[in-house]
Amino acid sequence: TIGVAAPAWAASADPLPSWNSGAAKDSIIEFVDNVTDPESGQYLPPAKRIATFDNDGTLWSEKPLYFQFYFALDRLKAMAPEHPEWQTTEPFASYLAGDVDKMVAHGEEGVLKVVAATHAGQTTEEFRQAAEQWLKTARHGSTGKLFTEMAFQPMLELLDYLRESDFKTFIVSGGGVDFIRSFAEEVYGIPPYQVVGSSIKATYEVRDGKPVMVKQPEIAFVDDKEGKPVGIHQYIGARPVLAFGNSDGDYQMLDWVTSGEGPSLGLLLHHTDPLREWSYDRKSLVGTLDRGLDDAGEKGWVLVDMKQDWNSVYPVKPADPA
């Protein structure tokens, strides 16, 4: 508090304290200032302030495998004794063999197939309880954290900042929509009806005089690549003005969002931090970022460099009182 230190009000007024000063942070704040300022010439009424976020690798980590893999895998292992045919059918065989490369090669569609096979017959409420229970107890192999503790602190701040600026924040993810909905409100402050994702089919049945929704062993929608703008059209029904992703699976979403008339902002999180998180891009099977890296400059998309741009990665839990 001596000399040139920033005054206290400046620190407390920073809406993104986990973001370091630099081009990425500036681009976000400048965009929000412009679209919320009626005098800027770039003003957008609140109804137009729609922001979409990829989930895996954008709002939380995705290494070594998408977190939903582990959920599906735990259930697959539990059910495997009753399903000998899984030993010789893909993607089940690779999952049960623990062949990480092959599991990853099956992608989010592989997860969906496992979810479809292992959760078929469950009601949507049973599925939700199973997902909630799993998320309360399962821990990440290398960090030892609950998976929900691996949401990114800078992204949580960004979601809050946008909502305080009258944006509606949506998730648009290749992951299973019901899985994400089971924690999105608590972890991200995003209600279930603002989550767009991949899905398996569900049907309406009356059991013992009571209606239930029952999951079916059939993929209904894959919300990845071209599926992302399709999902945005179908669920949101308006073109967002901000999109944030981390892989080539987000390319079409960013392209769609930043091709509209009027102001828009596309961002890609580049995982560059092997010490605090992971470092990967073009060659990674999970979260491949290749074409997006090539084209970001030309498209005007902002690359967020995790190592440079973030001063913290995961939320710090308050220490237990001694």
Part of the chain binding Ca ion (CB under 5 A), chosen from 53-61, 131-139, 187-195, 267-275: 53-61
* Residue 107 touching Ca ion (CB under 5 A): no
CA distance 63 to 280: 10
User: Residue type for 124, please?
Assistant: T
Judged by CB under 8 A, the residue of 28, 35, 50, 162 near its own copies is 50
The binding track of 124-143 with respect to its own copies, each residue x by CB under 8 A or -, is x-------------------
In the complex with its own copies, the residue whose CB is nearer, 69 or 256, is 256
Q: How far is CA 91 from CA 82, 202, 203, 219, in A?
A: 17, 22, 24, 14
293 within 8 A of 271, measured Cβ to Cβ: no
How far, in Å, are 152, 214, 220, 306, 308 from residue 276 at the CA level? 11, 41, 37, 9, 12
Least spacing, CB of residue 245 vs its own copies, in Å: 15
Alpha-carbon gap, residue 115 to 122, rounded angstroms:
11
> Does 52 participate in binding Ca ion (rule CB under 5 A)?
no
Number of residues that bind its own copies (CB under 8 A): 36
By C-beta, is 54 or 178 nearer to Ca ion?
54
Q: Is 247 in the site for Ca ion (CB under 5 A)?
A: yes
Of 25, 52, 57, 63, the one binding Ca ion by CB under 5 A? 57
Does 204 bind its own copies (CB under 8 A)? Our answer is yes
CB of 80 to its own copies, least distance (A): 28
Answer for which of 19, 25, 28, 54 binds Ca ion (CB under 5 A) is: 54
Q: State the number of CA atoms in the 13 A half-sphere of 144 facing the CB.
A: 0
Per partner kind, with CB cut-offs from 5 to 8 A, the member of Ca ion, its own copies, none near residue 29 is none
CA distance 34 to 81: 59
Alpha helices, DSSP H, located in the chain: 8-13, 23-36, 67-79, 92-97, 100-105, 107-119, 124-137, 153-164, 177-188, 227-231, 251-257, 291-299, 306-309
Q: Which is nearer to Ca ion, 247 or 258 (CB)?
A: 247
d(CA 223, CA 229): 8
Binds its own copies by CB under 8 A, chosen from 29, 120, 146, 236: 236
Single residue of 160, 166, 226, 305 touching its own copies by CB under 8 A: 226
What would you report as the CA-atom Rg of the chain, rounded to the nearest whole angstrom? Answer: 21
Among 93, 100, 166, 235, the residue binding its own copies under the rule CB under 8 A is 235
Residue 136, Ramachandran bin (φ over 0: left; ψ between -120 and 50: alpha; else beta):
alpha
Which one of 13, 23, 78, 238 is in contact with its own copies (CB under 8 A)? 238
Residue recorded with tokens 């062949």: 99
Q: Please identify, using beta-carbon distances, which residue of 71 and 86 lies nearer to its own copies.
A: 71
Residue 173's nearest CA partner among 237, 235, 250 is: 250
Note the residues at the interface with its own copies (CB under 8 A): 47, 50, 124, 168, 170, 177-178, 181, 185, 191-195, 199, 202-204, 206, 210-211, 213, 220, 226, 229-230, 233-238, 252, 255-256, 259
